[in-house]
Amino acid sequence: MRSALFLAPCLLAACAAAPAEPAVHGETPGHTCNAAGADQFVGRQGTSETGEAILRATHAAVLRWVPPGTMVTMDFRQDRVTVRLGPDNRVTQVSCG
């Protein structure tokens, strides 16, 4: 009898569905950054309006401003666009990640 009780959880576990692939922590489903054509923003002032336009143009969900001399994490997020600014607060580079 005890062996049957011991095997019951194992048998039930074998019937369970396989777990779904875990989502990457922190990413927004349905958003993948595409920086093709984002060079049009280089030279513009780093304003909220410019940021909104960059988000729309790249289809990213997250905008990361990087002022000069600022260190950033190297983790890659497909839903994030990174905008580097020069000392004059103008966009110098737009890239995904």
pLDDT at 29 over 50: yes
> What CATH number corresponds to the domain at position 45?
3.30.10.10
Residue 19, pLDDT score = 43
Tens of pLDDT, residue by residue over 45-89, are: 999 999 999 999 999 999 999 999 999 999 999 999 999 999 999
In a domain, 5, yes or no: no
pLDDT at 4 over 60: no
Please answer whether residues 55 and 96 qualify as being in contact, where contact means their C-beta atoms are separated by less than 8 angstroms. Answer: no
Residue 68, pLDDT score = 96
Residue 92, pLDDT score = 98
Q: How far apart are CA 11 and CA 13, in angstroms?
A: 5
In a domain, 53, yes or no: yes
In a domain, 75, yes or no: yes
Q: Residue 56 sits in which domain range? A: 28-96
Provide the domain count of the chain. Answer: 1
Q: Which long-range contacts (CB under 8 A, 24 or more apart) does 71-80 make?
A: 77/24, 77/26, 77/27, 78/24, 78/27, 78/31, 78/32, 78/33, 79/27, 79/28, 79/31, 79/32, 79/33, 80/33
